[in-house]
Amino acid sequence: MANERKFFVGGNWKLNGDRQSIDGIIQFLNAGPLDENTEVVVSPPAIYLDYVKSKLGASVATSAQNCYKLSKGAFTGENSAAMAKDVGATWVILGHSERRHVFGETDELIGEKVKHVLSEGLGVIACIGEKLEEREANQTNDVVFRQTKSIAANISDWSRVVLAYEPVWAIGTGKTATPDQAQQVHKDLREWLAQNVSAEVAKACRIIYGGSVSAGNCRELATKGDVDGFLVGGASLKPDFVQIINARKA
Which residues are known catalytic residues?
A: 96, 166
Q: Residues 22, 25, 44, 215: what is their CA dihedral angle, to the nearest 10 degrees?
A: -150
- Cβ atoms of 96 and 15 closer than 8 Å: no
For 39, list phi and psi in degrees, rounded to 5.
Answer: -85, 125
How many Å separate Cα 117 from the centre of its chain? Answer: 14
Q: Is the dihedral of CA 107, 143, 41, 157 positive or negative?
A: negative
Residues 181-195 as b or e (16 or more Cβ within 10 Å = b): bbbbbbebbbebbee
User: Is 50 in contact with 62 (CB distance < 8 Å)?
Assistant: no
Phi, psi of 99 (to 5 degrees): -70, -40
Omega before 33 cis (within 30°)?
Answer: yes
